[in-house]
């Protein structure tokens, strides 16, 4: 019987969509693969090291799953025009003819009576208006998550003062150098 390495077991857990605990979670995948660590930070460190070791395999899997850089960019182009519908309740009657383009009065409450001149008069009530707006938070969140998963963000600079003898180094993924 062939022996499966913990690294491959880690990858199996990391890519297992049926397990929400380990799917795309480096640290919990390390724990599930049977690695030994004294803390959650230790498991996260092992998971990160495995992620780096299997960079090409993880990148290939992401490409196959539709998370290639090209696919993310295409999705961004689709999402940059995402819209959402917002509803607002306004006190009183609002004449639909005075609303700006893209804003629609969809309901009005209150009593409607006819004035002496035959025009409708509206008593105090409320008007429900609807508008379509860009779904900027949705666009940003999906794009941000995609780039984080791909590891294409440049690490933030970290400045530490007053501490001697500590060196912090950010290491780029080997796949990103190509």
Sort strands 83-91 and 103-108 into parallel, antiparallel or unpaired.
Answer: unpaired
d(CA 51, CA 7): 9
Assess if residue 9 is contained within a domain.
yes
Assess if residue 143 is contained within a domain.
no
Co-location of 11 and 57 in the same domain: yes
Rounded (5°) CA angle 33-24-136:
170
Co-location of 60 and 104 in the same domain: no
Assess if residue 139 is contained within a domain.
no
Assess if residue 160 is contained within a domain.
no
Assess if residue 18 is contained within a domain.
yes
Q: Domain boundary residue among 33, 65, 97?
A: 65
Co-location of 87 and 56 in the same domain: no
Confidence (pTM): 0.48
Assess if residue 97 is contained within a domain.
yes
Number of domains in the chain: 2
In this prediction, residue 171 has a pLDDT band, given cuts at 50, 70 and 90, of low
Per-residue pLDDT tens digits for 11-31: 999 999 899 999 989 999 999
Per-residue pLDDT tens digits for 48-81: 999 989 989 988 988 888 887 788 778 777 777 7
Co-location of 36 and 87 in the same domain: no
Domain extent for 3: 1-65
């Amino acid at each position: 019987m062939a022996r499966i390495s913990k690294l491959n077991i880690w990858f199996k857990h990391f890519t297992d969509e049926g397990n929400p605990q380990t799917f795309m979670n480096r640290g919990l995948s390390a724990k599930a693969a049977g690695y030994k660590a004294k803390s959650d930070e230790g498991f996260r460190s092992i998971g990160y090291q495995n992620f780096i070791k299997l960079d090409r395999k993880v990148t290939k899997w992401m490409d196959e799953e539709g998370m290639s850089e090209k696919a993310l960019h295409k999705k961004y182009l689709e999402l940059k025009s995402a819209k959402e519908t917002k509803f607002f309740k306004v006190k009183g009657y609002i004449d639909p003819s005075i609303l700006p383009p893209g804003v629609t009065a969809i309901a009005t409450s209150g009593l409607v009576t006819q004035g002496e001149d035959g025009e409708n008069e509206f008593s105090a009530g409320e008007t429900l208006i609807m508008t379509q707006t860009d779904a900027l938070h949705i666009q940003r969140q999906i794009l941000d998550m995609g780039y984080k998963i791909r590891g294409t963000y440049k690490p933030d600079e970290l400045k530490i003062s007053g501490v001697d003898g500590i060196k912090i180094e950010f290491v780029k993924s080997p796949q990103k150098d190509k």
